[in-house]
Chain A
Amino acid sequence: MANPTIAEKFESYLDYPGMKKGLFGWIFSIDHKRIGLLYLVSMVLFFAVGVTLAFIMKLEMLSPGKDVVDPQTYNTLFTLHGVIMIFLFIIPGIPAVFGNFFLPIQLGAKDVAFPRLNLLSWWLYMIGGIFAIVSLFLQGGPIDTGWTFYVPYSIRTTTNVILPLLGAFILGFSSILTGLNFITTVHRLRAPGMTFFKMPLFVWALYSTAWIQVVSTPVVGITIVLVIIERIFQIGIFDPALGGDPILFQHLFWIYSHPAVYIMILPAMGVVSEILPTFAKRTIFGYKAIAYSSLAIAFIGYFVWAHHMFTSGMSDTSRMIFSLLTFVVAIPSGVKVFNWIATLYKGSIDLRPPLVYVMLFIFLFSIGGLTGLILGSLATDVHIHDTYFVVAHFHYVMFGGTIIILFGALHYWLPKMFGRMYNEKVANIAAGIIFVGFNILYFTMFILGYQGMPRRYWSYLPEYQTLHIISTVGSWILILGMIVMFWNLIYGVLKGKSAGDNPWGGTTLEWQIQSPPIMENFHEIPTITHEPYYHAAAINTEDNKHKKIDEGENE
């Protein structure tokens, strides 16, 4: 990048004396970096709750019949695990944390287009989360519908349905406002010289994601309102006993919730496209193909929703059309994976923790993606629908894809966010433990599902027990790996050695500024003259810096 603004030892956004002090200086800050960290802390807390619920569920699966919880509690456990992980963790996920922090910096801007709206998004996120949590403790008991809120059960159950639904409605607003903010920022606040095709691919991914957030989230908002109205006034929109159409609910729910899968995965794909060129020390292979494939995934992602409904009783015409469209979405995803692998070809590969996570991602996401094709085929889907096969596929894509990359993004960008480095050896060991635990936990579910183990069942036939035990042991290994990883990162942030401004030799704008960044990111807005992953210019300067960091670690 031309005119990099390298600033040393200026007051960072972490120390900036704002209008308010202490906690208020954070929860009322309109700085995009502070808001990104607010999201990070709140999301990690919700993630910990979600993991704990899953841990209890897996314990219950150790043997048929009751181990630790009764059936009704098990129903609420899987519902809350889904609601928390999906609506409070993985949907805001990468855009809310790293998008907020790095989108303006990568564009050469001082902040997002609407900083106050950005803060409002975080507040709405917290209010939505509180609604969902409060519902657990009110009379009626926690929601037990599954995270999909399917009717007619969600209309008839006596548990607290309305409050978590309202929570999801409010969270939807948070998502829409963030999307709106990002679209406007990309269109209005790019630095001089930064054309669309000079934007980093993470920005492209966020831009595509933002469109999905803005266009599809209102659909689920309206659907939620309809369910609430039906519960209160018994109108008969979805409940067949009142003349409604329950499959209509499934259409409306998945018109949002399938594109929402791309809200979750597209930003992760953007992070992969950032990490790979940095650690392959070469420009990305097929920049435009990756950029366009993000838009293509976002667009085609709207038209495949009913592949969640093959066994629901909808028309055969629909089933065939949606099965075909589902296969089409594999094309842009394949384009991306091909370009990532090709980027590594003849690159000067530097296998450090962020790249290790990307390797895990490519492996796990490919398994998740390919098993998606088995589910997308009508004939095979009928056999494995609503079994552990679906659970395994979903977790390979969402955990093996998005969350693994969220971990990778933490390892990639945390040194920039806090200016300190974690222990790389421990990070690699943690990644190894996570990989082993992950596959033991979820691969067994593919086999269980194929053998006919239904999802969401509290008990099972004795022949499934061995695989259930193996799977539960896998969950312990996975949790151990995550504890080591978070401990290493937190220790690094608090007490790690100075990371320097550009520990990885990155070429995008965030690596040309101080670590941690100053409040306004740049002393002078840079002018962009070439593409984002231009390593030729960087080799001379960055290699020297790289060596220094390596030497620093050995001190």
Chain B
Amino acid sequence: MTDNHNKEHHLIGYGTYFMIWLSLISLTVLTVSIAGVNFGSIALLIALLIAAIKSGLVINYFMHIKFDDIIFKIFFLVAMATLFAIFVLTSFDIFFR
């Protein structure tokens, strides 16, 4: 763990954090902007995609998962896979009702 800790300090500088923050702001602006455009049934998917990219950035950089042990990545992926399966199963009701 100590090694990982040191690695983090070497890998992430203030510049990176700043860029991530700017990206998050930009993606938020994008979400708000395209909410006014009529994409029909794919609007939800687009909004979800942008939100997924934003959370990916936060989780990887701000929460340091990118630089952590493989076990934490596995934990995270299992939780995400579960969430994805829940979305898919719910969609069977939403789209076939």
Residues of A within 8 A of B (CB): 187, 215, 247, 251, 255, 299, 302-303, 306, 313-318, 321-322
Say if the beta carbon of B37 comes within 8 Å of chain A: no
A315 near B89 with CB under 8 A, answer no
Once bound together, how far apart are the Cα atoms of A302 and B93, in whole Å? 16
Q: Which residues of B contact A299 (CB under 8 A)?
A: 82
Q: Are B93 and A318 in contact (CB under 8 A)?
A: yes
Evaluate contact between A306 and B89: CB separation under 8 angstroms: yes
Residues of A within 8 A of B14 (CB): none
B97 within 8 A of A: yes
Pick from B85, B89, B90, B97 the residue with the most CB of A within 10 Å.
B89
Contact present for A318 and B92 (CB under 8 Å): yes
Q: Nearest Cβ distance between residue B73 and chain A, in whole angstroms?
A: 14
B90–A316 contact, CB under 8 A?
no
B86 at the interface (CB under 8 A from A): yes
Residue in B71, B93, B95 whose Cβ sees the most chain A Cβ within 10 Å: B93
A315 touches B82 (CB 8 A): no
Known contacts A317-B93, A318-B97; can you find 15 more A-B pairs with CB under 8 A?
A187-B71, A251-B90, A251-B93, A302-B82, A302-B86, A303-B86, A303-B89, A313-B97, A315-B93, A315-B96, A316-B96, A317-B92, A317-B96, A318-B89, A318-B96
A321 touches B89 (CB 8 A): yes
Show 22 residue pairs from A and B whose CB-CB distance is below 8 angstroms, ordered by the A residue. Answer: A187-B71, A215-B79, A247-B93, A255-B86, A255-B90, A299-B82, A302-B82, A302-B85, A302-B86, A303-B85, A303-B86, A306-B93, A313-B97, A314-B93, A314-B97, A315-B93, A315-B95, A315-B97, A316-B96, A317-B93, A318-B92, A318-B96
Contact partner, A315, options B79, B86, B92, Cβ 8 Å: B92
Residue of A nearest to B86 (CB): A255
How many residue pairs between the two chains, A and B, have CB atoms under 8 Å in the bound complex?
37
Given the complex, which residues of B lie within 8 Å of A215, measured CB to CB? 79, 82
User: What interface size band does chain B fall in?
Assistant: 10 to 19
CB-defined contacts of B95 to chain A, threshold 8 Å? 315
Q: Which residues of A contact B82 (CB under 8 A)?
A: 215, 299, 302
Residues of B within 8 A of A317 (CB): 92-93, 96
4 smallest beta-carbon distances between A and B, as pairs:
A315-B96, A317-B96, A318-B93, A315-B97
- B90: chain A residues at CB < 8 Å are 251, 255
The reply to whether B92 and A321 form a contact with Cβ atoms under 8 Å apart is: yes
Question: Smallest distance from the beta carbon of A283 to chain B beta carbons, Å?
Answer: 29
- Chain A proximity of B87: nearest CB distance (Å): 10
A112 CB to nearest chain B CB (Å)? 18
Using Cβ atoms and an 8 Å threshold, which residues of chain B touch A255? 86, 90
Q: How far is the CB of B94 from chain A (nearest CB, A)?
A: 8
Distance in angstroms between the alpha carbons of A321 and B96 in the assembled complex: 12
Inter-chain CA distance A314–B71, complex, in Å, is: 38
